[in-house]
Structure 1
Amino acid sequence: MYCQGASKGIVFFTDKGIDKKIEVSKTPFNVSCNPVDERGRSGKAIYTYDCSNPIPQCQNQTREIALYEHESLFFKSVLDNAGYDGNHYDLYANSVQGERLLLAGFSTGCGLPTISNKKFIPNGNDGLVVKDSANNNMYIVAVSECKYSVSCDKDCPEDSHKCIHKQYPGYCCVPCKKTGDRLKNIANKVGQ
């Protein structure tokens, strides 16, 4: 838990090279991070399918499977003499990262499946997640990297110095180590 006994907290984070912050007024709070990649958030898909075999147990079936938000589902046939149409069908997911096998032998006695409805439900744990002490979500921000720090009752992260600034919000945060390294580099160049 962050900021126990503090009046506020600030979560500083970087996403795609841009520094951002979340001001948290309800303390204490917890922060977790699970980056979101180009496949989108993780969760589950609930989908309905029908198969080429017209018997009732092969029609209007519903299943759920772990999936990413931007993945599409498709089937590949595999020769199988025990299959309804001489094949069984494996379920795959496809995304910008390529395809991946989700379930081998998805359909054997029912023939070629066709998905008629798919609903995606995110698991709510992707990105930068800030939860209160009762474990309720306060903020969920989709981030591609997990670089964050927390400051309690201060306007800047722990490893920085607050300077007065004319532009909004009236101050800036100067990173101590980064600034110190720059000064050392300049001193080394001048000393040569």
Structure 2
Amino acid sequence: MPIYCTEKKTATIFFQRENGTKGQLIVSPAPVEIVCLQSNNQGKYIFTLAASGSNPDCSGDNGYQFGGDRIADSYQLGRLIPNYTSFGCSVQEIIFYPSGQTDVVHPVQYRISQRNNPDYNPSEGIQVKDGIGKVVFKEFGIKCNWVVSCDDDCPEGSHKCTHNKYPGYCCVPCKETGDRLKNIANKVGR
């Protein structure tokens, strides 16, 4: 886990969201620890399955028993399957998506409850801890290619210029500026 700005007072983290907007976070006290949060798109919901017991008349005994949790985005009722070992009662197939996991419920009576999956994150993100280990920022939908500057310094690969707006300076990326100047020179030289 990368730690930035040791023996400094503040850390400024520059990042870009997946929708293209840029963000900046100033953290004090430094150092800061930044962690890339991996995406987890196993499923948006947790479905809890409960099936009734069996009676010879296939009506179920309304004594629903826990059948486990399934993590998925949705489910669909599948085909009825004859089951001759259970007094001729049919069983119902339930298919959970996107995993394609199939459960067979016996007999036909069952209950499915749905709740949000707290671990569902369709995209990566970042988590930032301050110098005392407290999480000060956590957000998904941010690319894991942040840039950090310490105190009033500019990040590596940039040049510090004075500016009349707060905080009194700006950081100009050297490579981008060099590429622009080269492009202008090539156009003028033609």
Task: Answer yes or no: same fold by TM over 0.5.
Answer: yes
Residues 140-178 of structure 1: per-residue CA shift (max 9 Å, x gap): 122253331112223532221222222333332211110
- CA pair 4-66 structure 1, distance change in 2 beyond 3 A: farther
Deviation at 1:116, TM superposition (A): 3.2
Unaligned runs of 5+ in 2: 53-58
CA contact (8 A) 2:7 2:31 kept: yes
Residue 54 of structure 1 aligns to a residue whose secondary structure is coil
Aligned residue pair count: 176
Aligned counterpart, 2:129: 131
Once the two structures are superposed, the pairs formed by residues 132-151 of structure 1 within 5 Å of their partners are 132=130, 136-151=134-149
Aligned counterpart, 1:109: 106
| Root mean square deviation of aligned Cα | 3.4
CA contact (8 A) 1:11 1:22 kept: yes
Aligned counterpart, 1:2: 4
Deviation at 1:107, TM superposition (A): 3.1
Once the two structures are superposed, the pairs formed by residues 44-59 of structure 1 within 5 Å of their partners are 45-51=45-51, 54-56=60-62, 59=64
- Which stretch of the first structure deviates more once superposed, 19-28 or 127-136? 127-136
Residues 91-120 of structure 1: per-residue CA shift (max 9 Å, x gap): 22xxxxxxx12522x233243644334143
- CA pair 66-130 structure 1, distance change in 2 beyond 3 A: farther
Once the two structures are superposed, the pairs formed by residues 2-21 of structure 1 within 5 Å of their partners are 2-15=4-17, 16-21=19-24
- Measured in 1, the distance between the counterparts of 2:174 and 2:14 equals 15
- Report the TM-score when normalising by structure 2: 0.71
- CA pair 146-89 structure 1, distance change in 2 beyond 3 A: same
The partner residue of 1:91 within 70, 75, 96 is 96
Residue 180 of structure 1 aligns to a residue whose secondary structure is helix
- Report the TM-score when normalising by structure 1: 0.70
More strand by share: 1
- Measured in 2, the distance between the counterparts of 1:133 and 1:123 equals 28
CA contact (8 A) 2:159 2:171 kept: yes
